[in-house]
Amino acid sequence: MTLEFDLFWSFRSPYSYLATPRLAALQEEYDVKINVRPVYPIAVRIKGFFKQVNPLWPPYLLKDTVRIAEMEGLPYAWPSPDPIVMDIKSGEVPEEQPYISRLTRLGVAAAEKGKGMPFLYEVSRIIFGGVKGWNEGTHLQEAAARAGLDLAELDALIEKDPDHYEKTIAENEAAQKAGGHWGVPLMVFEGEPFFGQDRISHLIWRMEQKGLKKRS
């Protein structure tokens, strides 16, 4: 029996990026289905979040993510441009969010095409992998193609019915909360939440208790 779990994931989360190669490898090695459920980052979901955050957190996050990337052998740099438009000094996040809105909707469209994991893998790699101007030229188009998707087709689907994608994102965020956590990456297996890129081994351990098998 194929096991499955929900993956709540954000295009602005470095930890989501750092977890993705291992999650993709998990799906390739084991008989498991990953239900990709993109959500908006916490900066969008919780108004004023960065006005209240502990000032020690951002510098620690940068040190920690650089360390993990080095350990995992992954290319890593803070995105240019940042998927979130915000005033770094004040923590103000405007309502208009052209980058993250498009990316999150594209993630939903890719998941509905059955290519969620490849799309997350390829797109996050250009966002966090040191590609300056990842939103310009053909970077996104080529990343989508490597995932087996046509970017123009995805954009057309979203333009035709944007409310559908926003509704799905809202449903994903509600399911994330119901799953027991607010952060990403969050894996929820049979109602049990596993939060963070360092909980993948725990997730595998639990699924093995439930009969997880390697692919033949």
Residue ranges of the domains in the chain?
A: 3-209
Report, in this order, helix, strand and coil percent for the chain, each rounded to 5.
55, 10, 35
Give residue 153's region: left, alpha or beta (phi > 0; psi -120 to 50): alpha
Q: If pLDDT is split at 50, 70 and 90, which confidence band does 198 have?
A: very high
- pLDDT attached to residue 52: 81
Length of the chain: 216
Instruction: Write the pLDDT tens digit of every residue in 73-104.
Output: 999 999 999 999 988 777 788 888 999 999 99
**pLDDT over 80 (residue 49):** no
Q: What is the mean pLDDT of the chain?
A: 95
If you average pLDDT over residues 176-181, what whole number do you get?
97
Instruction: Write the pLDDT tens digit of every residue in 4-48.
Output: 999 999 999 999 999 999 999 999 999 999 999 999 999 888 777
Active-site residue, selected from the candidate residues 13, 16, 101, 124: 13
If you average pLDDT over residues 58-64, what whole number do you get?
94
DSSP conformational letter for 181: -
H or E segment and range at residue 103: helix 98-112
**pLDDT over 80 (residue 147):** yes
CA 157 to each of CA 88, 113, 140, 146: distance values in angstroms, whole numbers, following the listed order: 33, 11, 16, 19
If you average pLDDT over residues 147-163, what whole number do you get?
98
pTM across the whole model:
0.96
**pLDDT over 90 (residue 117):** yes
- pLDDT attached to residue 60: 96
If you average pLDDT over residues 184-211, what whole number do you get?
98
Does 16 participate in catalysis according to the annotation?
no
- pLDDT attached to residue 74: 98
Q: How is domain 3-209 classified at the CATH fold level?
A: Glutaredoxin (3.40.30)
Residue 33, burial from CB neighbour count under 10 angstroms (0-12, 13-18, 19+):
exposed
